[in-house]
Chains A and B, each alone.
Chain A
Amino acid sequence: MDLTFSRITKAYGEMKSLDRVSFEVKSGEFLFIVGPSGAGKTTLIKLILAATKPTSGEIIVTFPKKKNKKGKIEEIRRLIGTVYQDTRLVMDKTVYENIELALDIINTPKQERDEVIKKVLKKTNLEEKTDLFPSQLSGGELQRASLARALAVKPLLILADEPTGNLDPESGWKLVELLRKINKEDKTTIIMATHDMEIVDSLKTRVVRLDRGKVIKDKKKGKYL
Chain B
Amino acid sequence: MNTFSTAWHHIRRSPFQSLAAISIMTTNFILLTFFSLLVIGISSTLDYFESKPEITIFLKDNLSQENLYGFRDEISSRSEVKEIVYISKEEALGIYREQNKDNPLLLEMVTSSILPASLEISANNPKDLDTIAQSLVGKEQYIDELVYQRDLVQSIIKWSNIIKKAGLVAVTAISLISFFVVLIVIGMKITLKKQEINVTRLLGASKFYVKKAFLAEGSFYGVFGALVGWAVAFATALYFKDQVAQFFGEISFLPDGYRVYLLILGAEALFGFFLGFFGSWLAVKRHLKY
- Footprint of B on A, CB under 8 Å? 49, 51, 74-80, 82, 88-92, 97, 100-102, 104-106, 149, 153
Q: When each residue 181-224 of chain B gets 1 if its CB lies under 8 Å from chain A and 0 otherwise, what string results?
A: 00000000000000110011111111001000000000000000
- Residue of chain B at shortest CB distance from A73: B204
Interface residues on B, range: 10 to 19
Residue among B2, B9, B203 with max Cβ neighbours from chain A (10 Å): B203
Q: Which residues of chain A are within 8 angstroms of B205 by Cβ–Cβ distance?
A: 74, 105
- Min CB distance, A209 to chain B, in Å? 26
In-complex Cβ contact of B204 among A91, A92, A100, A106 (8 A): A106
Q: Which residues of chain B are within 8 angstroms of A78 by Cβ–Cβ distance?
A: 203-204
Offer 9 A-B interface pairs, CB within 8 angstroms, sorted by A.
A49-B202, A77-B202, A78-B204, A88-B202, A89-B199, A91-B196, A101-B1, A101-B203, A153-B204
Q: Which residues of chain B are within 8 angstroms of A91 by Cβ–Cβ distance?
A: 196
* Alpha-carbon distance A104/B209, docked complex (angstroms): 10
B13 within 8 A of A: yes
Q: Which residues of chain A are within 8 angstroms of B203 by Cβ–Cβ distance?
A: 77-78, 82, 101-102, 105, 149, 153
Closest 5 CB pairs of A and B: A78-B204, A77-B204, A105-B205, A88-B199, A104-B1
B1, A100: Cβ atoms under 8 Å? yes
A74, B204: Cβ atoms under 8 Å? yes
A105, B202: Cβ atoms under 8 Å? no
* Alpha-carbon distance A82/B203, docked complex (angstroms): 8
Name 8 extra pairs, CB < 8 A, besides A75-B204, A78-B203, A97-B1.
A76-B204, A77-B202, A92-B9, A100-B1, A101-B1, A102-B203, A105-B200, A105-B203
Q: Which residues of chain A are within 8 angstroms of B200 by Cβ–Cβ distance?
A: 90, 101, 105
- Min CB distance, B2 to chain A, in Å? 8
* Alpha-carbon distance A216/B184, docked complex (angstroms): 50
- Footprint of A on B, CB under 8 Å? 1-2, 9, 13, 195-196, 199-206, 209
* Alpha-carbon distance A202/B252, docked complex (angstroms): 90
* Alpha-carbon distance A39/B246, docked complex (angstroms): 85
* Alpha-carbon distance A92/B201, docked complex (angstroms): 17
- Min CB distance, A67 to chain B, in Å? 13
B196, A90: Cβ atoms under 8 Å? yes
- Min CB distance, B98 to chain A, in Å? 70
Q: Which residues of chain A are within 8 angstroms of B204 by Cβ–Cβ distance?
A: 74-80, 105-106, 153
In-complex Cβ contact of B209 among A82, A88, A100, A105 (8 A): A105
* Alpha-carbon distance A100/B6, docked complex (angstroms): 12
* Alpha-carbon distance A49/B204, docked complex (angstroms): 9
- Min CB distance, A145 to chain B, in Å? 13
- Min CB distance, A116 to chain B, in Å? 14
B206, A74: Cβ atoms under 8 Å? yes
* Alpha-carbon distance A138/B256, docked complex (angstroms): 65
Q: Which residues of chain A are within 8 angstroms of B2 by Cβ–Cβ distance?
A: 104
- Residue of chain A at shortest CB distance from B207: A74
* Alpha-carbon distance A106/B199, docked complex (angstroms): 14
Known contacts A90-B196, A92-B13, A105-B209; decide if A51 and B202 are in contact (CB<8 Å): yes
B202, A90: Cβ atoms under 8 Å? no
* Alpha-carbon distance A90/B10, docked complex (angstroms): 13
Q: Which residues of chain A are within 8 angstroms of B206 by Cβ–Cβ distance?
A: 74
In-complex Cβ contact of B199 among A76, A79, A90, A104 (8 A): A90
Q: Which residues of chain B are within 8 angstroms of A76 by Cβ–Cβ distance?
A: 204
- Min CB distance, B14 to chain A, in Å? 10
Q: Which residues of chain B are within 8 angstroms of A101 by Cβ–Cβ distance?
A: 1, 200, 203
Residue among A78, A79, A90, A149 with max Cβ neighbours from chain B (10 Å): A90
* Alpha-carbon distance A88/B198, docked complex (angstroms): 9
B1, A82: Cβ atoms under 8 Å? no
- Residue of chain B at shortest CB distance from A149: B203
* Alpha-carbon distance A15/B67, docked complex (angstroms): 110
- Residue of chain B at shortest CB distance from A76: B204
- Residue of chain B at shortest CB distance from A89: B199
In-complex Cβ contact of A82 among B195, B196, B202 (8 A): B202
Q: Which residues of chain B are within 8 angstroms of A100 by Cβ–Cβ distance?
A: 1
Q: Which residues of chain A are within 8 angstroms of B202 by Cβ–Cβ distance?
A: 49, 51, 77, 82, 88
Q: Which residues of chain A are within 8 angstroms of B13 by Cβ–Cβ distance?
A: 92
Q: Which residues of chain B are within 8 angstroms of A104 by Cβ–Cβ distance?
A: 1-2
- Residue of chain B at shortest CB distance from A46: B202
* Alpha-carbon distance A78/B13, docked complex (angstroms): 27
* Alpha-carbon distance A78/B204, docked complex (angstroms): 5
Q: Which residues of chain B are within 8 angstroms of A90 by Cβ–Cβ distance?
A: 196, 199-200
- Min CB distance, A66 to chain B, in Å? 18
- Residue of chain B at shortest CB distance from A106: B204
Q: Which residues of chain A are within 8 angstroms of B196 by Cβ–Cβ distance?
A: 90-91
- Residue of chain B at shortest CB distance from A50: B202
